[in-house]
A and B are shown apart, each in its own frame.
Chain A
């Protein structure tokens, strides 16, 4: 039975602090390849940069289960050199522009420090402060003579840390999923063929998972991801009906998002596993969003698919926050469910 202990937390820290903006996932890929070495029967890096690792089971009548965790994160690309170490940039993935001003960033493979400043409050008017600062007026400033070039990626400079029972850092979406998948691969149960896909370009349209699912050709697919928790008090103190998930209630099992209507057989399998094993879980509120499951279900002739996500607050910001217990329970649920998975789960028609 895999567990989350200090080695896993240290790995999460390294991965959270690594920079892997969609399309440039090399830094995370390198860590993943090193971590799974010796734990898979086959490992390959495909044409898009997905890491595909297969660990065959030993029992008869095994299902081929694809588990997908995306390696990429939202971030920035430098697009023009204004001179004097100042660069224009574009946002990659969905980042609320209101999260940008006043932040430190890491630029390029060397994590060169820079800042996204803002006009001093003294030089703004009250009217101006009612409007968001448009991205095209912001710059990444590396200091006079700072070295970078258009095309370099950047992320928030936001070192991982623990806050009591919580984890704080950038890119918890989806480095939590990446470590989970590494642990599952290292502890793969013998009753399944575990097809692990560490995917690229999820944040810009589930692009890596699409080709990974075609290549792996699984019997069923599970996206392991991080999903928002909007469990904050509402401004007027009224109970808020829209929270997506809540921290501390366990892994979030998807029924429906904008990309996928989960296979009900897989939902039943996961929820009944959780209930019989006494693992807390929550059903993610049906609604928007999408995970790699959306790409997996459409692969070839179609694949039964579901998503299990770790809830986290403040997605796509410099500092998202998750609970350690939710992560532990996510790993426990997935491992327990895989261990009891038989072809019977798909015997019934959807």
Chain B
């Protein structure tokens, strides 16, 4: 089994902003292809990989969704060799000044997000955060060269390389949600020597960060019996200590709330208890803010569950995840799939 960490680092370094997931989708396809029976792209660019089950047809199926798109920036205007930018997905402009980026122009250009000095800004920005509309990207190239190489609408990715930190953790951009893609890979590898009754759709969804586009369309197309969404959640750490944050490296979270079917949630929880995989319970009272918000209400409705991987500093270029949590989430999923009996769906009922 190839090592997880190098694959994860490659994933983090692959461009793939929302709706523009091509490069990262190719990388995932290459890794998954030997692990599945069929693999293809959806019309909006989600990667659909099928592992066929052993039960008699028509077989029930479970869809595992992990979004693969990254947040980032886009060029809105070019002025004197400097690039004006907007966001793709939710970016706190306060983490941008001084960030290394890659501008995906007619060729990839390294650059840096810069905060002009106060005298170049409207009054009031001596100490206050400078809004995105006033930040620029400098590529170090002369204006004429920039005009030749960069166009309005070109994408800008974060370029912070992944860092291995202490305690078997990794820091980098886009761990949201490539960490989950890695966990799903762990799951698929775990299923290699493990027959399962159900069909498994491993899906790397597109464009989650800009409206759950991949999840809603893939769920519509594949019509799974059940859907499990794997996404990152808030880890406890500097700047985040509230009830909705969870310890880093102490296991995934199992999310409960209106988006999740309680019986499916309970099945995952019971399995984690049985396997002694540590987990935390996470509460999402209304919307989970994950692909499950979409899968649940697709077509006639699909019972959905969410597994979270705790991550620090979400949506900054230095997100931190514990490798162990990735492995645990992958293992829990694989065991869950392996244990699905043909009649499991009959247990997904309302316990009123």
**Is there a contact between chains A and B in the complex with CB atoms less than 8 Å apart?**
yes
Nearest residue in A to B115 (C-beta to C-beta)?
A98
Q: CB-CB < 8 A to A151: which residues of B?
A: none
Number of A residues, CB within 8 Å of B? 63
The verdict on B238 contacting chain A, using a C-beta distance below 8 Å, is yes
Q: Which of A129, A146, A164 contacts B93 (CB 8 A)?
A: A129
Contact B94 A85, beta carbon cutoff 8 Å: no
Contact with A along B222-243 (1 / 0, CB 8 A): 0000000000001001111010
Contact B94 A144, beta carbon cutoff 8 Å: no
Contact B94 A115, beta carbon cutoff 8 Å: no
Contact B82 A164, beta carbon cutoff 8 Å: no
Contact A123 B234, beta carbon cutoff 8 Å: yes
Contact B316 A122, beta carbon cutoff 8 Å: no
The verdict on B120 contacting chain A, using a C-beta distance below 8 Å, is yes
Contact A313 B120, beta carbon cutoff 8 Å: no
Min CB gap B212→A, angstroms = 15
Q: CB-CB < 8 A to B318: which residues of A?
A: 102-104, 115-117
Among A96, A120, A163, find the residue whose CB has the most chain B CB atoms closer than 10 A: A120
The verdict on A86 contacting chain B, using a C-beta distance below 8 Å, is yes
- A117-B249 CB under 8 A given contacts A129-B93, A129-B94: no
Contact B121 A230, beta carbon cutoff 8 Å: no
The verdict on A234 contacting chain B, using a C-beta distance below 8 Å, is yes
Among A117, A129, A163, A233, find the residue whose CB has the most chain B CB atoms closer than 10 A: A117
Nearest residue in B to A87 (C-beta to C-beta)?
B238
Task: List A residues 152-167 near B (Cβ within 8 Å).
Answer: 156-158, 161, 163-167
User: Interface size class for chain B?
Assistant: 35 or more
Min CB gap A94→B, angstroms = 13
Nearest residue in B to A147 (C-beta to C-beta)?
B166
Q: Which of A85, A117, A240 contacts B166 (CB 8 A)?
A: A85
The verdict on B333 contacting chain A, using a C-beta distance below 8 Å, is no
The verdict on B44 contacting chain A, using a C-beta distance below 8 Å, is no
Contact B166 A163, beta carbon cutoff 8 Å: no
Contact B120 A163, beta carbon cutoff 8 Å: no
Contact A163 B111, beta carbon cutoff 8 Å: yes
Contact B79 A233, beta carbon cutoff 8 Å: yes
The verdict on A177 contacting chain B, using a C-beta distance below 8 Å, is no
Nearest residue in B to A166 (C-beta to C-beta)?
B140
Contact A133 B240, beta carbon cutoff 8 Å: no
Contact A168 B112, beta carbon cutoff 8 Å: yes
- A120-B240 CB under 8 A given contacts A98-B97, A102-B316, A319-B112: yes
Min CB gap A99→B, angstroms = 5
The verdict on A347 contacting chain B, using a C-beta distance below 8 Å, is no
Nearest residue in B to A102 (C-beta to C-beta)?
B95
Q: How far is the CA of A85 from the CA of B145 in the complex (A)?
A: 45
- A321-B145 CB under 8 A given contacts A113-B163, A133-B94: no
Contact B98 A232, beta carbon cutoff 8 Å: no
Contact B94 A132, beta carbon cutoff 8 Å: yes
Q: Which of B110, B111, B127, B136 contacts A232 (CB 8 A)?
A: B136
Contact with A along B114-150 (1 / 0, CB 8 A): 1111011110000111100010101111100100000
- A235-B98 CB under 8 A given contacts A145-B166, A321-B138: no
Q: How far is the CA of A122 from the CA of B315 in the complex (A)?
A: 9
Q: How far is the CA of A141 from the CA of B311 in the complex (A)?
A: 13
The verdict on B99 contacting chain A, using a C-beta distance below 8 Å, is yes
Q: How far is the CA of A98 from the CA of B80 in the complex (A)?
A: 25
Contact B238 A139, beta carbon cutoff 8 Å: yes
Nearest residue in B to A248 (C-beta to C-beta)?
B142
The verdict on B92 contacting chain A, using a C-beta distance below 8 Å, is yes
Q: Which of A122, A124, A233 contacts B80 (CB 8 A)?
A: A233
Contact B289 A122, beta carbon cutoff 8 Å: yes
Q: Which of B117, B141, B167, B171 contacts A165 (CB 8 A)?
A: B141
Task: List A residues 253-275 near B (Cβ within 8 Å).
Answer: none
- A123-B240 CB under 8 A given contacts A130-B128, A232-B114: yes
Q: How far is the CA of A98 from the CA of B142 in the complex (A)?
A: 27
Min CB gap A93→B, angstroms = 15
The verdict on B320 contacting chain A, using a C-beta distance below 8 Å, is yes
Contact A119 B79, beta carbon cutoff 8 Å: no
Min CB gap A278→B, angstroms = 21
Min CB gap A87→B, angstroms = 10
Contact A120 B163, beta carbon cutoff 8 Å: no
9 more contacts with CB within 8 A, not counting A96-B97, A147-B166, A321-B140, are A85-B167, A118-B94, A121-B315, A138-B238, A145-B166, A163-B111, A232-B116, A233-B82, A235-B116
Interface residues of A (CB under 8 A from B): 85-86, 96, 98-99, 101-104, 112-124, 129-133, 137-139, 141-147, 156-158, 161, 163-168, 228, 230, 232-237, 240, 242, 313-314, 317-319, 321
26 A-B residue pairings within 8 Å (CB atoms): A85-B166, A96-B97, A98-B94, A98-B130, A101-B92, A101-B94, A102-B94, A113-B171, A115-B313, A115-B320, A119-B240, A122-B289, A129-B93, A129-B94, A138-B238, A163-B111, A165-B140, A166-B141, A168-B112, A232-B116, A233-B120, A235-B121, A317-B97, A318-B98, A319-B100, A319-B112
